[in-house]
Each structure stands twice: as C-alpha cells, then as structure tokens.
C-alpha cells in the first residue's frame, strides 16, 4: 500500500493509503475511472478529468461486490472492472 493523493479542483486534496486495482479510460468523455483497494479493506471508485482532477468518488465498504455491481451495472466499462478484479458476474442458467 502507498499514500495516494487525489487532486481536487477548488477544494482540499484528499489522500488515503491504498493501491490501484483497476483502471479504465473513456475516450468519449476523456475521463479516467479507477478503483483503489484501501488499507482498511474498502474500494474507492474515482472519476478524474483529463487534467487529473478528481470529479467524483464513491467508497464501497468491505469491498462489497453487490454494492459495486449496483453502482456500476453491466456496461462494457463495468465488465472490464469486474474482469480486472476477478469478479464473475455471469448469470449461469441451469436448463
């Protein structure tokens, strides 16, 4: 784990101890999405501008897969995150 510092426009920067575990860039909106694993066992989802400024963040306590899926849904971006995190969201049919 390392000290992560996120730059906030027109506000105090925020920091925490953690490590980046997933990353995606949306070329259409030119924003980066990252998921960090925190020292205390949570995930932190961040959205940053192309200038590296934090636009939004959301904490997911206890690395709750259900909460992450509720938050992200099943977009291509979300599925990429799930793959990077080793989360299987495939609905298996028993037919």
Residue range 7-49, pLDDT digits in tens: 998 899 999 999 999 999 998 899 999 999 999 999 999 999 9
Q: In the predicted model, what is the mean pLDDT of residues 65-82?
A: 95
DSSP H helices, 23-86, are: 65-72, 76-85
Q: Is the pLDDT of residue 53 over 90?
A: yes
Q: Using a CB cutoff of 8 Å and minimum separation of 24, what contacts does 90-94 make?
A: none
Q: Name the DSSP letter for residue 41.
A: S
Write down the pTM of the prediction: 0.90
Residue 61 pLDDT grade (very low, low, confident, very high; cuts 50, 70, 90): very high
Question: Nearest to residue 53, comparing CAs of 19, 2, 92, 5?
Answer: 5
């Amino acid at each position: 784990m390392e000290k992560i510092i996120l730059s906030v426009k027109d506000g105090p920067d925020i920091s925490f101890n953690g490590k980046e575990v997933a990353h995606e860039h949306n070329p259409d909106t030119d924003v980066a999405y990252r998921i960090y694993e925190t020292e205390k066992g949570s995930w932190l989802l961040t959205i940053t501008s192309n200038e590296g400024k934090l636009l939004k963040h959301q904490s997911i306590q206890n690395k709750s897969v259900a909460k992450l899926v509720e938050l992200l849904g099943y977009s291509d971006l979300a599925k990429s995150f799930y793959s990077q995190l080793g989360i299987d969201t495939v609905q298996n049919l028993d037919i």
